Amino acid sequence: MKYLKTIQYQQEDSIAIISIDRPDAMNSINEGLRSDLLFAFEKASQDKNIKIIVLNGNGRNFSAGADLKDKSDLDKTIEDVLNNEYRPIFEIIINSSKPVIASIHGSAAGIGLSIALTCDLVIMADDAFLLSPFTAISLVPDGGLNWTLVNHLGYKRAFQVSIEGQRLDADFCVKNGIVNKSVPFDKLKEETLSWAKSIAKKAPLSLKGTKKIMRFAESKSWDETYKLESQVQQSLQSSHDFKEGVDSFIEKREPVFKGE
C-alpha cells in the first residue's frame, strides 16, 4: 500500500475510515493531501470487503480548506489544480458504488466544505460550523460548492451565505438540509460509526442502485430518471439478494446479503 503522509486509513468491520491528518495545518489541503485522499478513496471503493466509507479529520477541525501557504502549486494554474487534482476526488465520491459519510467537527471551510458536502451523507457535531469564506480572499466558491449550495438553499440564501461569509451552525445546516443530523461533540465518533454500521447492514446492491439513481436524478428529468429506475429495478429483481430479502421477510429473520 502507498505510504500516506497526510491521511490515516483504517478499517473497522466493513467500514473504511479515511481521516485527514494535517492537524498542525488545520487539515488544510495541499498537493500531497489531494494525492493521498484520492488514493484512499480509490482503495476503499475497490475493496470488496468495504461497504461504507467515512471521511473525517484529525485534530481541531474537519478541514480549513486549501492551504494558502503551500508553495507546491505556484507553478500551476488554479484551473488546472481544480480540474486535474481536486475534480477526481469529487468524482470518485460521487461515482463510488459505496455510500460516503462525512463526519464534521470543529469547522469545514472552503474546498474542505465542498468535499464534505459532496459526500452522500453528512453528520456534524452540534458545536461545529460550515464556512464559505471566499469573498474574504477575492475568490469564488469552488469544488462545485456553488452548485451544492444553490441546490440546497436556493439562489438567494446561497448567494447571501457565500458573499457574507456566514458561519453556518449545526442547527441551520440540519434545518436547511445541508447535513443530515447533528450530535454532541463527544458522541460524534461513536454516532458516526454506529450510523455507518447500521447502513452497512442494508442490501449492498440496493445501496449502490439507489445512490446511482439519485445522483443521476440531481441533473436529469423525471422521465430520464424513471427509465433508469426501471432498468436498475429489473437488474436487482433477478439478484440473489432480492430473493434473500423476500425470503427473510416472509420467514421473519434477518437477511444475509451477499452483494450478488
For 149-194, how does the pLDDT look when each residue is reduced to its tens digit (9 = 90+)? 999 999 999 999 999 999 999 999 999 999 999 999 999 999 999 9
Write out pLDDT tens, residues 52-77: 999 999 999 999 999 988 877 778 89
Residue 146 reports pLDDT greater than 90: yes
Q: Residue 182 burial by CB count (10 A; 0-12/13-18/19+): exposed, middle or buried?
A: buried
* Amino acid at site 10: Q
Distance CA 52, CA 97 (A): 9
* Amino acid at site 102: A
* The predicted structure's pLDDT at residue 69: 86
Q: Which grid coordinates are listed for 44?
A: 476503499
- CB neighbours (10 Å) of residue 203? 19
Average pLDDT on 135-139 reads: 93
Cell 466509507, located at residue: 53
Distance CA 136, CA 109 (A): 12
* Amino acid at site 111: I
CA-based nearest residue to 153, from 129, 123, 182, 117: 117
* The predicted structure's pLDDT at residue 75: 80
Residue 105 reports pLDDT greater than 70: yes
CATH number of 7-200: 3.90.226.10
Q: Which grid coordinates are listed for 161?
A: 451565505
Distance CA 103, CA 108 (A): 10
CA-based nearest residue to 65, from 75, 57, 74: 57
Write out pLDDT tens, residues 23-60: 999 999 999 999 999 999 999 999 999 999 999 999 99
Distance CA 84, CA 216 (A): 23
Residue 1 reports pLDDT greater than 80: no
Residue 245 reports pLDDT greater than 80: yes
* The predicted structure's pLDDT at residue 3: 79
